[in-house]
Chain A
Amino acid sequence: MRTSVTSAGDIARDIPRAPPPMAMLAELTHRCPLACPYCSNPIELTRANEELSTEEWIGVFRQAADLGVLHLHLSGGEPASRRDLVELTRAAVSLGLYTNLITSGVGLTGARIGSLADAGLDHLQLSLQGVSPESADRIGGYQGGYERKMAVAAWVAGAGIPLTLNAVCHRENMGEIDAMIELAIRLKARRVEIATVQFHGWAERNKAALMPTREQVERATRTVAEAREKYQGVLVIDYVPADYHSRYPKACMGGWGRVGLNVTPSGRVLPCHAAETIPSLSFENVRETSLAAIWYDSDAFNAYRGEDWMPELCRSCERKKVDFGGCRCQAMALAGDASATDPVCIRSPLRERLTREADALSTTQSAGLIYRGR
Chain B
Amino acid sequence: MSGDAPRISGSSVVKLARGVRLREDPVRGQTVLLAPESAMALDDIAVAIVEALDGKRSLERIAADFAEKFDAPVARIAEDVETFIHELAVRRMLEIVE
Using CB atoms and an 8 Å cutoff, list the residues of chain A in contact with chain B: 20, 22, 66-68, 70-71, 96, 98, 100, 122-123, 125, 160-162, 164, 182, 185-186, 190-191, 230-236, 238
Q: How many A-B residue pairs have CB under 8 A?
A: 66
Closest to A122 in B: B19
B34 touches A230 (CB 8 A): no
Instruction: Name B1-20 residues within 8 Å CB distance of A.
Output: 1, 3-6, 17-19
Q: Which residues of B contact A66 (CB under 8 A)?
A: 27
B34 touches A98 (CB 8 A): yes
Instruction: Name B25-44 residues within 8 Å CB distance of A.
Output: 25, 27-28, 32, 34, 36-37, 39
Given contacts A190-B17, A233-B5, whether A70 and B91 have CB atoms under 8 Å apart is no
Interface size class of B (residues with CB under 8 A): 20 to 34
Using CB atoms and an 8 Å cutoff, list the residues of chain B in contact with chain A: 1, 3-6, 17-19, 21, 23, 25, 27-28, 32, 34, 36-37, 39, 89-92
CA distance A143 to B9 in the complex (A): 48
CA distance A186 to B21 in the complex (A): 25
B19 touches A123 (CB 8 A): yes
A235 touches B92 (CB 8 A): yes
Given contacts A70-B34, A123-B36, A191-B36, whether A234 and B5 have CB atoms under 8 Å apart is yes
Given contacts A185-B1, A191-B36, whether A68 and B17 have CB atoms under 8 Å apart is no
Q: Which residues of A contact B6 (CB under 8 A)?
A: 233-234
Given contacts A123-B19, A161-B19, A182-B1, whether A68 and B28 have CB atoms under 8 Å apart is yes
Closest to B25 in A: A70
Interface secondary structure of B, over-half rule: loop
Partner of A68, one of B19, B25, B89: B25
A98 touches B17 (CB 8 A): no
B27 touches A160 (CB 8 A): no
A67 touches B18 (CB 8 A): no
Closest to B24 in A: A96
Partner of B92, one of A67, A100, A161, A190: A190
Looking at the assembled complex, report how far the CB atom of B49 sits from the nearest CB atom of chain A, in whole angstroms.
18
Given contacts A123-B36, A162-B36, whether A70 and B3 have CB atoms under 8 Å apart is no
